[in-house]
């Protein structure tokens, strides 16, 4: 909750414009951010496996705080670019590490079957944090402008990092070298069929979250007055939080996601303000499916490089997100809904049906032993 209650999230695009950056410069900044995220994702996942997952999460908060401090102290293209590099590194440090930390902690507590439920609550907390973050952004900007918003954002990230130092980390076997850990994670992803399929589908599902960037544009296109857009779209993250909190379900994920995609496509064709309710339903179902898929991926990982494998899925999500951007440019909501429908068709084959405690039936391969340590 603390790590997502960052008021500058609501205003940083406006900060760039107010500083005098052109559209091309803003796009260049986003490209820098995406590139850093793609390059750093897997190496920092292996770093968490080799050294410490808890301290990777702590470092993530510190890096993000440093990035926002640079934005606030040195506003301008160079300062913003440095800030995005730090933010990208911070995101890569926590991606994979947090889920691995949570999974191992629940295994140590004898409750691995609760992973989906707890991950869903963690995800829901992050989504609900958008509400206080938006309120803070409004009040802080009115009081002290972008500078106050920036420094409070730095404080929020440092506070989250401080709280993260209190997270328990389950002792693990003596780790291999960094390169061996990196190879182990890649090997399990590539060689073990169940893991490979789960990583692929989680990456494709994670990419759909890029659609969130267009919610305000959808509201405007569907004739919602600009002044009412923030309020009109407020139900969407709330629905997402509710769906995430229900993650870990044994319901057929493909049917759920496919049905919501069809409804989304129909709403896109109609283009009425009431269709935002359909977008909210879609987003709630999507978050439920994503959390459940992430839980099933964790169930299938058997090696020690858990954060590395999870980071491979994160890397794939960054790459597949480009397809969401292309779909939006090509055909808006309707094109995105078709892309989601294609992912829904893959879910039954990739994830199967959950068995006892939500575990998918094992489908071993002859070379599984390569990545399974005694």
Model confidence pLDDT, tens digit, residues 147-193: 999 999 999 999 999 999 999 888 877 767 888 888 989 899 989 99
Q: What is the pTM of this model?
A: 0.80
Same domain for 69 and 188: no
Residue 345 belongs to a domain: yes
pLDDT value for 294: 92
Query: Above pLDDT 70, what percent of the chain?
Result: 93
Whether pLDDT at 9 is above 90: no
pLDDT value for 356: 41
Same domain for 204 and 118: no
Q: Which residue has the higher pLDDT, 175 or 33?
A: 33
Chain-centroid distance, C-alpha 54: 18
At which residue do the structure tokens 């499916």 appear?
289
Same domain for 99 and 23: yes
Asked if 308 and 185 touch (Cβ cutoff 8 Å), the reply is yes
Last residue of a domain, one of 127, 143, 172: 172
Whether pLDDT at 82 is above 90: yes
Distance CA 360, CA 348 (A): 11
Residues 322-363 have pLDDT tens digits of 888 888 888 889 999 999 999 999 898 888 644 444 444 444
The count of structural domains within the chain is 2
Residue 199: domain span = 181-364
Residue 371 belongs to a domain: no
Distance CA 263, CA 241 (A): 20
Distance CA 80, CA 14 (A): 13
pLDDT value for 358: 41
Whether pLDDT at 126 is above 70: yes
Same domain for 190 and 134: no
Same domain for 140 and 227: no
For the chain, what is the mean pLDDT?
86
pLDDT value for 175: 67
Whether pLDDT at 38 is above 80: yes
Residue 369 belongs to a domain: no
**Cα distances (angstroms) measured from residue 265 to each of 239, 252, 331:** 18, 20, 11
Whether pLDDT at 42 is above 50: yes
Residue 227 pLDDT grade (very low, low, confident, very high; cuts 50, 70, 90): low
Taking residues 240-249, report their average pLDDT. Answer: 88
Residue 372 belongs to a domain: no
Helix extents (H) in the chain: 12-19, 23-50, 53-73, 77-94, 97-108, 115-128, 130-164, 178-191, 193-208, 215-221, 229-232, 235-245, 253-270, 275-300, 306-351
Least confident residue range of 1-10, 52-61, 193-202: 1-10
Same domain for 290 and 237: yes
Most confident of 80-94, 164-178, 238-252: 80-94
Residue 374 belongs to a domain: no
Whether pLDDT at 229 is above 80: no
Whether pLDDT at 238 is above 50: yes
């Amino acid at each position: 909750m603390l790590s997502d209650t960052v008021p500058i999230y609501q205003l940083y695009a406006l900060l760039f414009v107010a500083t005098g950056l052109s559209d091309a410069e803003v796009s260049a900044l986003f490209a820098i951010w995406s590139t850093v995220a793609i390059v750093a994702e897997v190496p920092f996942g292996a770093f968490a496996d080799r050294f410490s997952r808890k301290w990777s999460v702590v470092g993530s908060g510190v890096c993000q705080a440093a990035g926002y401090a640079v934005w606030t102290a040195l506003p301008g293209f160079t300062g913003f670019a440095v800030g995005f590099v730090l933010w990208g590194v911070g995101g890569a440090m926590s991606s994979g590490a947090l889920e691995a930390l949570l999974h191992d902690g629940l295994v140590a507590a004898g409750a691995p079957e609760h992973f989906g439920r707890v991950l869903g609550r963690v995800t829901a907390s992050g989504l609900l944090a958008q509400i206080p973050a938006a309120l803070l952004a409004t009040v802080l900007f009115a009081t002290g402008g972008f500078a106050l918003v920036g420094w409070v954002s730095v404080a929020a990230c440092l506070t989250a990092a401080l709280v993260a130092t209190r997270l328990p980390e389950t002792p693990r076997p003596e780790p291999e070298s960094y390169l061996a850990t990196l190879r182990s994670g890649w090997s399990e992803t590539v060689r073990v069929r169940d893991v490979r399929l789960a990583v692929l589908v989680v990456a494709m599902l994670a990419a759909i979250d890029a659609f969130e960037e267009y919610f305000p544009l959808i509201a405007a296109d569907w004739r919602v007055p600009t002044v009412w857009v923030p309020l009109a779209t407020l139900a969407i993250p709330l629905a997402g939080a509710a769906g995430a909190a229900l993650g870990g379900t044994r319901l057929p994920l493909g049917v759920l996601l496919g049905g919501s995609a069809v409804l989304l496509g129909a709403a896109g064709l109609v283009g009425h303000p009431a269709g935002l309710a359909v977008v909210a339903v879609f987003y709630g179902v999507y978050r439920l499916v994503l959390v459940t898929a992430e839980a099933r991926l964790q169930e299938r990982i058997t090696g020690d490089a858990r954060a590395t494998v999870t980071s491979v899925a994160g890397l794939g999500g960054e790459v597949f997100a480009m397809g969401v951007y292309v779909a939006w440019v090509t055909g808006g909501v309707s094109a995105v809904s078709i892309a989601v429908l294609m992912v829904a068709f893959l879910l039954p084959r990739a994830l199967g049906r959950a068995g006892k405690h939500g575990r998918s039936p094992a489908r071993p391969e002859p070379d599984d032993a390569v990545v399974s340590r005694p």
